[in-house]
Structure 1
Amino acid sequence: MHTPPVPLKTRLLNTPDVELWPGGLLRARGNADARILARARRVLRRKRDGRYLAAELPEGLMPLIPGLPREPGIEAALDRLDHDGGGRGPWRGEAGELPLDALRDHLHALGLDDSYGERTSLPLVAEPDTLAFAGFDRYRRALWLTHAAARAWLGLRDAAAREGVVLEAISGYRSHDYQLGIFERKLARGQTVEEILSVNAAPGYSEHHSGRALDIGAPDEPPAEESFEHTAAFAWLVANAGAFGFSLSYPRDNPHGIVYEPWHWCFAADVAADAD
């Protein structure tokens, strides 16, 4: 597998309820936010709704909401901040996985149990506890992948560029909470769980949770459309992605019953050791 020689240093520290973002990658939502984010080493962000909870500044931790000590999951996030030095030290190898207990509770609340995975042949996917910054996606959002997947993606993208083919990342890692939010919004609009499942994987069953999957697009092409298969970018991926450890997850007539997704590619975790 081809990988870029430069180690990836910027990373996201992940906990069940709170993400710890490196400074400089989150968008300010006002002048006060902009001043704080400009100085922040880390920003603690609630996964459920993206709310900024606190900023780690050179002089210490600054709460950004009232009642920060009562925020669910804040103790685990602060412990992670202390234990990992804010994620500024050397990379310590491949990420671990977060527990699935809370996710199972959410699935049961939706009326879903293990039979969903058995019916679709989809495994339950844990979130990594650490993710690497792999540049920005089409929409200038930070793209997070596991360290090995990030290096493979950058190698894949750069190899395509050398042959005159532009590959754009559309999205990478998504949390369980992100997927739950999709279900909650659609349920609020009157859709049933079964209707939502016809187009969205159940929370916890999307490859995007693993940090190894990403949706890929091409310039001037709409995102996540079957028409992507007619682009030079898709043809290049079919011919070359395997050399970088990526494969098409959902071809036509796949056994999971998921619609054909020529844009969705996943990195095989065991292709190469994650070491710098």
Structure 2
Amino acid sequence: MRAPDRFLFNTPDIELWPAWLLRARGNHDARLLARARFVLRRKHDGRYLAATVDEGLQPLLPRWTRERGVDAALDMLDAVLATPRRPPGASATLPLDRLHERLAQLGVDGDYGARTGLPRVAEPTRLALAGFDRYRRPLWLTAAAARAWQRMQAAAMREGVVLEAISGYRSHDYQLGIFERKFARGQSLAQILAVNAAPGHSEHHGGQALDIGAPGEPPAEESFERTHAFAWLQRHAAGFGFTMSYPRDNPHGIVYEPWHWRYREAGTES
């Protein structure tokens, strides 16, 4: 029996998700997902396009072959299916060629990166399943960050400290959606940028950052700094390669985020 696939494969517009991790959105989807290995999932709204089953690709959305970026997704799928025992090649990063389009859509000026000191962050072409977050959603990180997170979480648990993942990898499209939802609630661009980096500039895009919480604590709140989990992270996180990205009075204009930690492999530049 095949072991469950534990990698997400990423293209600019479409993701290849292991079908066993997705929730069916109707009886037709449920029957197809039960037999599928991968699902092509549109990034900007999460819609399922098609599923791979033994007899080939089966549609989940009408006219899915006309979707933007479908050729790149099918090329990635061919590479994945041709290497059944391991992921194809080394993980690379996706181009940043549509970043200006996303920023202009939000009204973010072209000097944002230089002004804040927040670099542009490309999305990886492959992410590993690092477990599940507080809400039972799949937690995606780079393979190295996933291993480090699992080791750190287990070490904390041995000392009676529970570290919960709140969120990990987020695509540029997902970040854009955060801004759109906050605009709809009446927030201004300045208010949003104080809490969320502009699309293309969030550390979450790179698959090496995650937000961490503790049981009973609200997510992404400054009160996290008063928990045993935060005290444990201050003492031990560096030993696992994690550092807090946005301390008080950081130079990027981001509010103090004691919950946001990023993994850096030994020997890599920050």
The equivalent of 1:262 in structure 2 is 258
Equivalent-residue separation in structure 2 for 1:99 and 1:86 (angstroms):
24
Q: How far apart are 1:186 and its partner, in Å?
A: 3.1
Match of 1:65 among 43, 56, 61: 61
Match of 1:240 among 222, 236, 239: 236
2:132/2:139 contact within 8 Å kept: yes
Q: How far apart are 1:66 and its partner, in Å?
A: 1.0
TM-score, with length taken from structure 1: 0.91
2:5/2:18 contact within 8 Å kept: no
Q: How does 1:189-204 map to 2 (within 5 A)?
A: 189-204=185-200
1:9/1:91 contact within 8 Å kept: no
Q: How far apart are 1:270 and its partner, in Å?
A: 4.1
CA RMSD of aligned residues (A): 1.8
Structure 2: which 5+ runs fail to align? none
Residue identity opposite 1:62 in structure 2: Q
Match of 1:213 among 193, 209, 215: 209
SS in 2 for 1:264: strand
- CA offsets, 1:29-84, max 9 Å, x none? 12222111111100110000000000001111001111122111111101100022
Equivalent-residue separation in structure 2 for 1:108 and 1:268 (angstroms):
31
Match of 1:118 among 108, 114, 117: 114
> Cα gap change, 1:93/1:62 in structure 2, threshold over 3 Å: closer, same or farther?
closer
Q: How far apart are 1:13 and its partner, in Å?
A: 0.2
Residue identity opposite 1:217 in structure 2: G
Structure 1: which 5+ runs fail to align? 1-7
- CA offsets, 1:240-265, max 9 Å, x none? 11011000001111111111111100
2:29/2:60 contact within 8 Å kept: no
Which structure carries more relative contact order (alpha carbon 8 Å, separation 6+)?
Answer: 1
Equivalent-residue separation in structure 2 for 1:230 and 1:94 (angstroms):
40
TM-score, with length taken from structure 2: 0.92
> Cα gap change, 1:94/1:79 in structure 2, threshold over 3 Å: closer, same or farther?
closer
Q: How far apart are 1:192 and its partner, in Å?
A: 3.8
Number of aligned residue pairs:
265
- 2:138 counterpart of 1:142: yes
- CA offsets, 1:139-190, max 9 Å, x none? 0000000000000000000111111111111100000000111222333455
The equivalent of 1:169 in structure 2 is 165
Equivalent-residue separation in structure 1 for 2:81 and 2:124 (angstroms):
18
SS in 2 for 1:61: strand
SS in 2 for 1:84: helix
The equivalent of 2:247 in structure 1 is 251
1:21/1:42 contact within 8 Å kept: yes
Identity %: 67
The equivalent of 1:49 in structure 2 is 45
- CA offsets, 1:88-144, max 9 Å, x none? 432456521000111222213333344101111100110001000011101000000
Residue identity opposite 1:212 in structure 2: Q
> Cα gap change, 1:100/1:13 in structure 2, threshold over 3 Å: closer, same or farther?
same
